[in-house]
Amino acid sequence: MQNMPEYLIVNIDSMQIKPISTLPHPPPGKSGWPWTNESARTTAQWETQDWPTISIIIPTFNQAAYLEQTIRSVLLQGYPNCELIVIDGGSTDGSLEIIRKYAPLLTFWISEKDCGQAHAINKGMERATGNILAYLNSDDLYLPGTLFTVAEYAMRNPEVDLVYGGCRVIDAEGNKTGERWGDISGISELIDLWDVWWKRRNYVQPEVFWTRRIAEKAGPFREDLYFVMDYDYWVRIFLAGGKAGMINNELAAFRITPEQKSRQSAKVALELLQVIEPVLWNKRLPIPLWQRYQLRSRWLYQRYFLPEVEKSLAAGEKTFARRLRLLGVIARHPGMLAFGGLHARMFSGLHRLKWD
């Protein structure tokens, strides 16, 4: 029968430690992590019996070029209690052959048409049973020792709900091109797109893990979001009372590719603004009133004032017409007057008799 989902459920043995000798051979010419190397394990790590179960979900669609490396970066962690769940959206590029190749080592996998990345993650979350959860996009990968590092931190800090570390940035070939270190400990920082998130203090995503208890409070990922379902999820974790903790290690690698949807910066920014709008106007938001008004004013300026500037420039409007247009925006959204940047722009415009 055509168009039927293909899937496999593997028994509990799939959660056991997987030496590199038990994995399929890597493709010819591949070496290093995670092809011919595996994570080092200490005696203490081997002897400890009570490691929390970590569930890793890999949502994927037509990522055959990178999927195998992603899967191996989880399997070769050497972590004894790891569920690896692969949710494929019905790929046609050879991904299914890779998944079948590793199927005996997976906890669960399925290949069927879905409604996008967030839907795939939610399907995986429904299958996951771990105390610690994460998802790893199929063009990213974990670095050696990540799961032990996260588990050790979680056991030492049981009050923490969201754990994050450093994130290496790599190119399509896997070469390191940079690194990112998030620095966000609460909701007031997370929703400050201007002085925190867009100032490179953001979480990248593959280096983030969270607890089951906070997942039960936050609920599923929003399937109506295309770019920033992860950001929305972090917001809901903090609004649910989640506490964040940082690990001072690189945990994952984030791959930059030409076809990556997150490179569409204008669309990403718009979706971020849409996510935080109801948060900023929520009277119960647990941040100081002055900060709430400042963030609202910047939101109004970003959402309404700047697009009108772009429209005016695109239309080739003269100075007077542009000023009338922008004064009308301010009149409709006077809350933006609390943003000092608008004051500077207005003063500059009046001084030069134009705003540009």
Q: pLDDT for 106-129, tens place per residue?
A: 999 999 999 999 999 999 999 999
- Considering 250, 276, 302, which residue would you say is the last residue of a domain? 276
Residues 179 and 313 in one domain: no
- Considering 245, 276, 307, which residue would you say is the last residue of a domain? 276
Is 283 inside any structural domain? no
What's the rounded mean pLDDT across residues 225-244?
A: 97
Residue 238 and residue 187 in contact, taking contact as beta carbons nearer than 8 Å: yes
Would you state the pLDDT for residue 19? 80
Residues 135 and 192 in one domain: yes
Q: Which is nearest to 86 in space by CA: 133, 150, 136, 35? A: 136
Confidence band for 21, pLDDT divided at 50, 70 and 90: confident
Place of tokens 């608008």: 342
Domain that holds residue 71: 6-276
Phi, then psi, of 174 in degrees rounded to 5? 95, 5
Quick check: 280 pLDDT over 90? yes
Is 248 inside any structural domain? yes
Quick check: 138 pLDDT over 70? yes
- Considering 223, 256, 276, which residue would you say is the last residue of a domain? 276
Give all strands (DSSP E) within 103-207, no chain letters.
108-111, 132-135, 141-142, 162-170, 176-181
**Residue 336, CA atoms < 13 Å, CB-side half-sphere:** 23
Would you state the pLDDT for residue 40? 78
Q: Give residue 132's identity as a one-letter amino acid code.
A: I
234 three-state secondary structure = helix
Is 84 inside any structural domain? yes
User: What CATH number does the domain containing 47 carry?
Assistant: 3.90.550.10
Residues 326 and 262 in one domain: no
Quick check: 356 pLDDT over 70? no
Residues 299 and 189 in one domain: no
Place of tokens 């925006």: 329
Q: pLDDT for 47-94, tens place per residue?
A: 666 899 999 999 999 999 999 999 999 999 999 999 999 999 999 999
Q: pLDDT for 300-324, tens place per residue?
A: 999 999 999 999 999 999 989 998 9
Quick check: 349 pLDDT over 80? no
How far is residue 119's CA from residue 213's CA, in Å, rounded to a whole number? Answer: 21
Is 281 inside any structural domain? no
The structure's pTM equals 0.91
Instruction: Tell me the pLDDT of the chain averaged across its residues.
Output: 90
Would you state the pLDDT for residue 351? 43
Residues 240 and 108 in one domain: yes
Is 257 inside any structural domain? yes
Domain count, the chain: 2
The per-residue DSSP string of 204-227 comes to -STTEEEEHHHHHHH-SPPTT-SS
Give the tokens for residue 281: 């106007």
Would you state the pLDDT for residue 43? 54
What's the rounded mean pLDDT across residues 257-284?
A: 87
Q: Give residue 285's identity as a one-letter amino acid code.
A: L
Give the tokens for residue 22: 């038990």
Residues 17 and 160 in one domain: yes
Q: Give residue 248's identity as a one-letter amino acid code.
A: N
Residues 220 and 71 in one domain: yes
User: Could you count the other beta carbons within 10 Å of the beta carbon of residue 213?
Assistant: 12
Residue 83 and residue 130 in contact, taking contact as beta carbons nearer than 8 Å: yes
Residues 346 and 269 in one domain: no
Would you state the pLDDT for residue 232? 98
Residues 49 and 180 in one domain: yes
Residues 146 and 36 in one domain: yes
How far is residue 196's CA from residue 219's CA, in Å, rounded to a whole number? Answer: 25
Q: pLDDT for 52-62, tens place per residue?
A: 999 999 999 99
How far is residue 290's CA from residue 199's CA, in Å, rounded to a whole number? Answer: 21
Q: Give residue 333's identity as a one-letter amino acid code.
A: H
Is 319 inside any structural domain? yes
255 three-state secondary structure = strand
Q: pLDDT for 210-221, tens place per residue?
A: 999 999 999 999
Is 29 inside any structural domain? yes
Residues 122 and 49 in one domain: yes
How far is residue 70's CA from residue 237's CA, in Å, rounded to a whole number? Answer: 26
Residue 79 and residue 151 in contact, taking contact as beta carbons nearer than 8 Å: yes
Quick check: 354 pLDDT over 70? no
Residues 265 and 208 in one domain: yes
Q: Which is nearest to 130 in space by CA: 50, 75, 55, 49? A: 55
Quick check: 1 pLDDT over 60? no
Would you state the pLDDT for residue 353? 40
